[in-house]
Amino acid sequence: MKTPYNLYGIKNCDTIKKARRWLEEHQVDYRFHDYRADGLDEALLQQLIDRLGWEPLLNTRGTTWRKLSDEQKSATNNQAAAKALMLEQPSIIKRPVLARNDSGTMLLGFSADGYQQFIDGAQ
């Protein structure tokens, strides 16, 4: 049987750790997909972009973004450029993304209240 939720992100991210702890404490059955260990293919990224938008997914406040050159930053001004950058450097994707498998709805970021509402909305 397919797990009801997928959690997408990077294992060593502090926010991912908080999200995973919350899901486990609330006994939510989920599968964790680590962009680094499990990979990020174009189809999965396109699903994320289609549901959430490329701009919210692009983490412009993190270390990976700050390490980019000014030219790379200014060139990342449309979906195609952002998608190429996210495929090349998955750590630039804002995280976590929690996906409900039955409906395909997704939640970007983590807050305890947001997760509670998202999970309650599924029941």
Domains of the chain: 5-120 (3.40.30.10)
Q: List, by residue number, the catalytic residues.
A: 13
CA dist 100 and 89 (Å) reads 25
d(CA 7, CA 16): 9
Task: Read off the tokens for 121.
Answer: 């909305």
Going by their DSSP bridges, the two strands 97-100 and 5-9 should be labelled as antiparallel
What residues contact 41, with CB distance under 8 A and at least 6 apart? none
**Tens-level pLDDT at each residue, the chain (123 residues):** 467 999 999 999 999 999 999 999 999 999 999 999 999 999 999 999 999 999 999 999 999 999 999 999 999 999 999 999 999 999 999 999 999 998 889 999 999 999 999 998 866
